[in-house]
Structure 1
Amino acid sequence: MPTIAQGINKKVAYKRQTGVGVIAATSGAQYLRRKQSVFTLKRDTYNTQDEIASHQQLISERQGVQMVDGKLSGLLSPGTYSDWLAALLRRDFTAGASASAVSITVAGTGPYTLTRAAGSYLTDGFKIGDVIRLSVGALNAANISKNFLITGLTALVATGIPLNGVALVAEGPVTGCTVTVQGKKTFTPSTGQTNIYYTVEEWSSDVTISEVSKDMKIGQVALKLPGTGNAEVDFTLVGLDQTSAATQYFTTPTAETTSNVLSTATGALILNGVQNGIVTNIDLTINGQETPMDGVVGSNLRPDAYRKKFLVSGTFSAMLSDSTIDALFRSETETTLVVALASDRTAAADFVSFVLPRLKIKSSTTDDGEKGIVGTYEFTALYNFAGGTGINSELTTLCLQDTLA
């Protein structure tokens, strides 16, 4: 009996290219966790359907220009898909804001306030939706090195909640503290957008088949954040070429990440500036609108892929408890959405967060039945003209923070 390829034995690896048409070098690739992946070489076909001959039959069919259609689905975890998400957002991850030698007073019962005696959170570059930690200084053990999600921000006061839900302790002023945005951040910028290509290999060692897809671009990701269950990602990629061989292309790729899968059970959702405990699920589609160009004479390879504007849309469902969300739709009032998902319930857990600083709800419907009534709301994220340097929000449509990026 012949050996049959099994998905459990297939490995997917990727590496960033230096540009279009330049396959990535064989060393330095990264293995990728997944639920499943399929990268398919597709070619246009042309036949003689419109040609008439006396025998009244089809004469020929030819293959034409090609493209690669890529699909990869997985479970969202810190660091695992950060490269692809940054490429989709058109900006590499960079370190977030930090401020040292700050005098901090902790107050409140949830939400809490972190009031500084001098300086400015805004000037230092902090934003609503940032997850920060306090360190250094003689802080209470309940306040130090704990993920704190900023829900409101002025020059001197950061309002927010601990991501693990464990209370802070009122104290201060405590001098000499450091305030740091954790991990790295990216967002779709208004200038200087990146244009990233990847080489992706699917290696089936049991049947020694390597399929290498080149000039791959991240076209879209669909994020599924259910009220119960794992957070999921479904990536769509487009590429220009694929080759097949009997030997593995990438040599000794780095092992897959080991971070915990995220779920909405460990995290927080902030809608319209207020922590929300009735949202049951969120579906978010981030679309880079990448499309392979038309073919050119003399080649079956398309010269490149072109992109259109960056689009973000989605839906969320919430238990119907009042008319607040529906009123946002009826009055066409813009709002904000922040989702932060942690890998566990510890104070300094790894996490991934998404911030939509300018959101418009475009539909509002409710269901019925012998159960709790649920409202479903479609939304579109818009470019936040009001954000930028020295402002409490980013000049962008979507901002992403990842502790392991």
Structure 2
Amino acid sequence: MAVQTTVATIVAYKQESPAGTIASNAGAQTLRRIKSDVALSIDQITSSEIRPDYQRGEARNGMRKVGGPISGELSPKTYADFIAASLRRDFSAVTTVTGASVTASATAPQFVRAAGSWLTDGIRIGMLIKPSAGANAGKLFTVIAVTATGLTVAEAVAPHAATTLDIAVPGKVTYVPQTGHQAKSFTIEHWHSAVAVSHRFVGCRVNNIKVDCKPNANANINIDLLGMDRQAGTAQYFSSPAAATTTGAVASPSGVLCVNGVAQAIITGFSVEIDGGMTTGAVVGSNITPDVFVGPVTVKGQISAYFTGGALDDIMTGEVPVSLVLKLDDGQGNAIAMTVPRAKLTGGSLSGDNEIIQQFDFSAAPVPMGGAEQTSFFIHDTAA
């Protein structure tokens, strides 16, 4: 008798159109993961009758429910479709700024243009940029502050005199938009080849995403899905899915975290959670929810840091809004930058047997901040 193994199980997905209808079987994508625990559960309807034999009557099946997490090591492009779905906006390219006369400096603002406006050209806090000429040509920089004529970046910059160059924004960006929100859903297949069983989870929306970055480790992503139903078959439904991505996992030692435009060397942990507030329903005459209903997008998270003084505590007690920018690279030339343009800190608890660590919760809001997109969360993926 064959026994299915996890490593031999193929997980593949494709966006549905319309939502809630199984996606066509061509054009699916194989997904890398640590695990995929998407599963079907069925509510049980129990009897409330009082019977002379002192026993409960037979239970019945109720509503069918689909849900569960897919977790993995965060890598460029791999989870971009799910991230875009959670933010309710597709990734989009940013137009290259061409023919700007730029002077580079070792101190902020590092890239100063003689004419025109970075803001008008669409450059925002949290973007990753590449100059085309000068001493910094081809290098990737993380934008942590923007004015009309000045860009401040997190990395060291080689100075140069005024040079005509282009500023490219490789890859694509997305964020929680002000209007035009999307409600995407996916079909997820688990193909168990050893036992010839295909489980196809239909109507799956991204209810929650959490990215967790710890010291000296790869960043992890957990995607919680909420769906409508499961179909089963004896043949692989997504019979020719595209190969899994090959980008490397992004790791904390190769990144930079900036709080209010200042690179931090004391941060011991960072996590951010995007909660879609989704629910399913129940109806008479069907055992399947009519939809997965979307709620507001809530962005929150945590940062922890070595306790070196009262600076972060003063930010918390003074209710001072801060920007948070985390950039991580994969060692292969790709990178992901995640930005919370405006966060408020709470908590501030202290713990530790030796060195003391202070932990803060934060919540985000789409309040306009200079040089940032008006959103609760912004992400740039250079491989998207």
The TM-score with structure 2 as length reference comes to 0.97
* 2:148 paired with 1:155: yes
Aligned partner of 2:218 among 222, 225, 230: 230
2:116 alignment partner in structure 1: 119
Query: 80-89 vs 61-70, which deviates more?
Result: 61-70
Matching of residue 32 in structure 1 with residue 31 in structure 2 = yes
How far off is 1:189 after superposition?
0.6
Q: Which amino acid aligns with 1:396?
A: T
Q: Which residue does 1:378 correspond to in 2? A: 361
State the partner residue of 1:168. 157
SS at match of 2:110: strand
Would you say 1:291 and 2:279 are equivalent positions? Answer: yes
Distance (whole Å) between structure 2 residues aligned to residue 96 and residue 276 of structure 1 = 28
Gaps of 5+ in 2: none
Of 117, 127, 132, 2:129 maps to: 132
Corresponding position: 1:245 with 2:233? yes
Instruction: Tell me if structure 1 keeps the 8 A contact 2:11–2:191.
Output: yes
Residues 1:404 and 2:376 are matched in the alignment: no
Contact 2:20 2:204 in 1 (8 A): no
What is the CA–CA distance in structure 2 between the aligned matches of 1:47 and 1:174, rounded to whole Å? 76
Q: Check conservation: 1:202, 1:210, Cα contact below 8 A.
A: yes
Report the Cα distance in structure 2 between the residues aligned to 1:100 and 1:181, rounded to whole angstroms. Answer: 11
Moved beyond 6 Å, runs of 4+: none
Shift of 1:112: 5.8
Q: Deviations over 1:36-60 (max 9, x none)?
A: 1112111221121x20121221221
Q: Displacement, 1:357? A: 0.7
2:120 counterpart SS class: helix
Conserved 8 A contact 1:46-1:61: yes
Aligned residues: 384
Structure-2 separation of matches of 1:57 and 1:319: 60
Look up the SS of the partner of 1:74 in the other structure: strand
Cα deviation code 1:154-204 (max 9, x no counterpart): 111111133xxxx432112112x1112221000001111000010000001
**2: distance between equivalents of 1:169 and 1:282?**
29
**Which deviations, in whole Å up to 9, do the C-alpha atoms of 1:43-91 show, x marking residues without a partner?**
221121x201212212211111111012111000000000000000000
Cα distance in structure 1, aligned partners of 2:345 and 2:154: 25
| Alpha-carbon separation, structure 2, partners of 1:204 and 1:107 | 57
For 1:50-61, what aligned pairs fall within 5 Å after superposition? 50-61=48-59
What are the within-5 Å matches in structure 2 for residues 300-339 of structure 1? 300-339=287-326
Structure 1 residue 236, shift from structure 2 partner: 0.6
Query: SS of 1:124's equivalent?
Result: coil
* Cα distance in 2 between the residues matched to 1:59 and 1:108: 78
Q: Offset at 1:234?
A: 1.0
Q: Distance in 1 between matches of 2:286 and 2:139?
A: 57
In the TM superposition, what is the alpha-carbon distance from 1:290 to its structure 2 partner? 1.4
Alignment of 1:202-221 (within 5 A): 202-221=190-209
**Residue identity matched to 2:383:** L
Displacement after TM superposition at 1:258 (Å): 0.3
- Given candidates 350, 353, 356, the residue that maps to 2:334 is 350
Q: Is the 8 A contact 2:343 2:364 kept in 1?
A: yes
- Equivalent residue of 1:332, what SS? coil
User: Distance in 1 between the 2:245 and 2:10 partners?
Assistant: 13
Distance in 1 between residues matched to 2:57 and 2:349, nearest whole Å: 55
Q: 1:145 aligned to 2:138?
A: yes
Bigger mean CA offset, 253-262 vs 267-276: 267-276
Rounded Cα–Cα distance in structure 1 between residues aligned with 2:57 and 2:149: 78
Summarize the Cα distance change of 1:336–1:180 in structure 2 as closer, same or farther, 3 Å threshold: same
Counterpart code for 2:348:
S
CA 1:325 to 1:264, structure 2 compared with 1: closer, same or farther past 3 Å? same
- Within 1, Cα distance between the matches of 2:366 and 2:162? 38
Of 321-330 and 73-82, more deviation after overlay is shown by 321-330
Tell me which residue corresponds to 2:83.
85
> What's 2:262 paired with?
274
Distance in 2 between residues matched to 1:357 and 1:97, nearest whole Å: 21
3-state SS in 2 of match to 1:27: coil
C-alpha separation between the residues in 2 aligned to 1:356 and 1:278? 19
Q: Deviations over 1:248-289 (max 9, x none)?
A: 001210000000000111111000221111001112211111
- 1:197 aligned partner: 185
Amino acid at match of 1:12: V
Q: More displaced, 296-305 or 253-262?
A: 296-305
Aligned partner letter, 2:356: I
Alpha-carbon RMSD: 1.3
After TM superposition, give the deviation of residue 96 of structure 1 in Å: 1.8
* Structure 1 residue identity aligned to 2:102: I
Matched-pair contact (CA < 8 Å) for 1:97–1:126:
no
Contact 1:19–1:196 (8 Å) recurs in 2? no
Residues 208/215 of structure 1: CA separation in 2 closer, same or farther (3 Å cut): same
Is 2:272–2:302's contact at 8 Å kept on the other side of the alignment? yes
